[in-house]
Amino acid sequence: MPLINKLILGTVQMGIPYGVNNKAGQIPESESLNILRLARESGIDTLDSAEAYGSAHQIIGGYNRENQKKPFNVITKISGGINNHTVEEKLQTFLRELHLEKLDGLMFHSFGAYQEHLHLMDRLSLMKEKGVFRQLGVSVYNNEEIATLIDDDRVDFVQLPFNLLDNISQRGEMIERAKEKRKAIHTRSTFLQGLFFMETTSKHRITEALAPQLLRIRELALEESVSINTLALGYCLTQENIDNVLIGVDSVTQLKKNLEAASFVLSKDTMNSINSLIVKNKALLNPSLWG
């Protein structure tokens, strides 16, 4: 299978202002449609969305309505207001918005959200059997959360952060355990919020703390004669145990760059060098703690 098929395209930037500056952040609808068209033609068939992503559902739905022969599969997430009585209606609303007959995936935004909705799991399993959605997933932050989830047979996939620094040394063993339990593995945070592209001389607390590792990443990219972007994406896509890799783009140009990067296969040596990059302080790898 070509590696491009592993890519899942995020849609948060299409639905709400999400760029570096709030104001400039939202992609114009026409550009969103161009991105979706190119993605679909290039072999990406699944989108990641959420109820909380503003008008993202409507934009995807607009595309799917015009392209009924080749619509996008969609993984989406619920933000609130669900109980045993309302969840079915909520998912039917999603299907209408997305112009789909079946959701590819329904995902909990967090391990906490999964725990708070355990009482809904039987109902959700029933809806899966009825064909409302194909797979149930949970977005997680740490390995302890994955360890709990792999024992729940109702969970089909987990989505975890994974990248050049939050790498096999941190995640490999847990990913293998999850695979043994036949969970699909989706990863996000491929570029660690742009950290790999930042100058190590910048006065950012995190780049200072991670300077040795970030410099090593630069060296490895030079040795392979590829961009850091390619190295970062290639590292995730080349992992056999990773089924899907989530990326987000702001423009058609960025998507093109990532599509080119996606066909690059990293050498064993480079993979091993990346695997040996170790970050002891795990808090440095969690952007929500950067402040």
Partner 1 sequence: MGLNTLLITQARTGSTRLPGKVLKIILGKTLLQIHLERLSKCKLVDAILVATTSSPDDNVIYKNAIEWGYYSFAGSEDDVLDRFYQAALPHSPTWVVRVTSDCPLIDPALVDKVVKFSIEKNADYCSNTLLEHYPDGQDIEVFKFEALSKAWKLADKKSEREHVTPFIRNNSDFKGGQNFAAVNFPCEKNYSHIRMTVDEQKDLDLITRLTEAKGLDKSWLDYTNYIIDHDLLAINKDITRNEGLLKSLSKEE
Q: How far is the CB of 153 from partner 1 (least distance, A)?
A: 23
CA-to-CA distance for 232 and 211, rounded, in angstroms?
Answer: 17
291 binds partner 1 (CB under 8 A): yes
C-beta of 30 vs 288, nearer to partner 1: 288
CA-to-CA distance for 89 and 268, rounded, in angstroms?
Answer: 49
DSSP code per residue over 248-261 = --SSHHHHHHHHHH
CA-to-CA distance for 163 and 189, rounded, in angstroms?
Answer: 7
Q: How far is the CB of 185 from partner 1 (least distance, A)?
A: 19
CB 72 within 8 A of CB 45: yes
Residue 266 DSSP code: P
Tell me the window of 19-27, 97-105, 168-176, 272-280 that interacts with partner 1 (CB under 8 A).
19-27
17 binds partner 1 (CB under 8 A): yes
Tell me the window of 63-71, 109-117, 205-213, 227-235 that interacts with partner 1 (CB under 8 A).
109-117
Helix%, strand%, coil% for the chain, nearest 5: 50, 15, 35
For residue 22, the SS3 value is: coil
Report how many residues bind partner 1 under the rule CB under 8 A: 26
| Contact characters 41-70, partner 1, x per CB under 8 A | ---------x-xx-----------------
CA-to-CA distance for 156 and 35, rounded, in angstroms?
Answer: 29
How far, CA to CA in Å, does 159 sit from each of 65, 156, 190? 28, 10, 12
Instruction: Choose which of 38, 113, 120, 252 interacts with partner 1 (CB under 8 A).
Output: 113
| Contact characters 66-85, partner 1, x per CB under 8 A | -----------x-xxx----
C-beta of 12 vs 261, nearer to partner 1: 12
Q: How far is the CB of 116 from partner 1 (least distance, A)?
A: 6
Beta strands per DSSP E along 103-194: 103-108, 133-139, 157-161, 184-188
In degrees and rounded to multiples of 5, residue 8 shows phi and psi of: -115, 130
194 binds partner 1 (CB under 8 A): no
Nearest CA among 192, 240, 241, 189 for reference residue 8: 189
C-beta of 189 vs 238, nearer to partner 1: 189
Q: How far is the CB of 12 from partner 1 (least distance, A)?
A: 7
C-beta of 112 vs 131, nearer to partner 1: 112
Q: How far is the CB of 265 from partner 1 (least distance, A)?
A: 30
Residues at the site binding partner 1, with contacts judged by CB under 8 A: 12, 16-18, 20-23, 50, 52-53, 77, 79-81, 108-110, 112-113, 116, 283, 288-291
